[in-house]
């Protein structure tokens, strides 16, 4: 047996029978009705489902922004339910890179400074911060634009800056919620090309989308209906 085979790789995401109930009694909403899902390192998963099917609820739990009512969640081998708020904030900062539909960049602040921000929170020193932020911008094809502020960039370029910001901490997982929802076709293709490249270089990506064309880029497609996984299909 080779050394590589001896290294047991734990899944990046491991959720077991996760339920999420909002409200109580008469107004109870069962947003997730027992979701079990494993995502291995290097996978690229698209999650689809109609409005109200539980996509955002699942995303918030995966991103440690919310906790399940019941069930278990391990992120990169760590049982998230045992962590306090401060530890959860650390997990979000170190292990997860978020990309949102609305890029959420800081206005009147250069692309480089935007990308450096998560590293500043993580306490990385200025020189190292700059070096890593430049590398992340180069990875999304925006090395030439580091001094541009968000309003000097197209929507697609802004989203690529946001992707660079998500990557700069070398997270175990990139979580993207409708990342191309506000983009035209060309910009959508540019951003998806970046995700494709990241995944080829080994990044784990979980992406929520309404668009079948976008989901086609993923290696695995999961469909949610009414808080349950009804389809889990390997595409590539």
Instruction: Give the binding site for ligand ADP (CB under 6 A).
Output: 22-23, 29, 31, 49, 51-57
Nearer to ligand ADP among residue 16 and residue 60 (C-beta): 60
Q: What's the number of CA atoms in the CB half-sphere (13 Å) around residue 60?
A: 13
Nearest of 218, 175, 220, 222 to residue 61 by alpha carbon? 175
Q: How far is the CB of 56 from Mg ion (least distance, A)?
A: 3
Q: Which is nearer to ligand ADP, 28 or 147 (CB)?
A: 28
> Which of 17-25, 30-38, 51-59, 220-228 is the region at the interface with Mg ion (rule: CB under 5 A)?
51-59
CB of 135 to ligand ADP, least distance (A): 33
DSSP codes of every residue in 160-228: HHHHHHHHTT--SEEEEESTTTT--HHHHHHHHHHHHHHHHTT--EEEE-S-HHHHTTSSEEEEEETTE
Q: Residue 101 interacts with Mg ion (CB under 5 A)?
A: no
- Whichever of 55 and 203 has its CB closer to Mg ion, that residue is 55
Q: Which one, 157 or 180, has the nearer CB to ligand ADP?
A: 180
Give the 3-state secondary structure of residue 13: strand
> Minimum CB separation from ligand ADP for residue 173, in Å?
19
Smaller CB distance to ligand ADP: residue 31 or 45?
Answer: 31
Distance CA 225, CA 33 (A): 10
49 binds, among ligand ADP, Mg ion, none (CB under 5 to 8 A by kind): ligand ADP
Find which of Mg ion, ligand ADP, none residue 11 binds, CB within 5 to 8 Å per kind: none
Q: Which does 101 bind (CB under 5 to 8 A by kind): ligand ADP, Mg ion, none?
A: none
DSSP state for residue 105 in the 8-state scheme: P
Specify whether the CB–CB gap between 176 and 109 falls below 8 A: no
# of chain residues touching Mg ion (CB under 5 A)? 2
Asked if residue 56 binds Mg ion (CB under 5 A), the reply is yes
Distance CA 175, CA 99 (A): 6
Contacting range for Mg ion; rule: CB under 5 A; set: 2-10, 47-55, 61-69, 75-83: 47-55
| Angle between helical axes of 185-200 and 126-139 (0-180°, round to 10) | 110
CA distances in angstroms from 125 to 114, 139, 154, listed in the order given? 15, 21, 30
Residue 127 DSSP class? H
Q: Which residues bind Mg ion (CB under 5 A)?
A: 55-56
């Amino acid at each position: 047996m080779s050394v590589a085979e001896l290294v047991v790789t734990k899944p990046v995401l491991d959720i077991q029978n996760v339920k999420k109930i909002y409200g109580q009694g008469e107004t109870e909403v069962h947003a997730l009705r027992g979701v079990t899902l494993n995502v291995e390192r290097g996978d690229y998963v698209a999650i689809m489902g109609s409005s109200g099917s539980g996509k955002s609820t699942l995303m918030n739990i995966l991103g440690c922004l919310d906790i399940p009512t019941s069930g278990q969640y391990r992120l990169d081998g760590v049982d998230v339910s045992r962590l306090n708020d401060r530890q959860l904030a650390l997990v979000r900062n170190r292990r997860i890179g978020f990309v949102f539909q609305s890029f959420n960049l800081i206005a009147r602040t250069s692309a480089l400074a935007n990308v450096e921000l998560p590293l500043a929170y993580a306490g990385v020193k200025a020189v190292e911060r700059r070096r890593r932020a430049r590398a992340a911008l180069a990875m999304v094809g925006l090395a030439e634009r580091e001094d541009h502020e968000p309003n000097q960039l197209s929507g697609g370029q802004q989203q690529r800056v946001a992707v660079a910001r998500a990557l700069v901490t070398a997270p175990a997982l990139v979580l993207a919620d409708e990342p191309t929802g506000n983009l035209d076709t060309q910009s959508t293709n540019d951003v998806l090309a970046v995700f494709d490249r990241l995944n080829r270089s080994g990044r784990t990506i979980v992406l929520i989308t309404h668009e079948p064309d976008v989901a086609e880029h993923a290696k695995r497609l999961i469909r949610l209906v009414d808080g349950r996984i009804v389809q889990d299909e390997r595409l590539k």
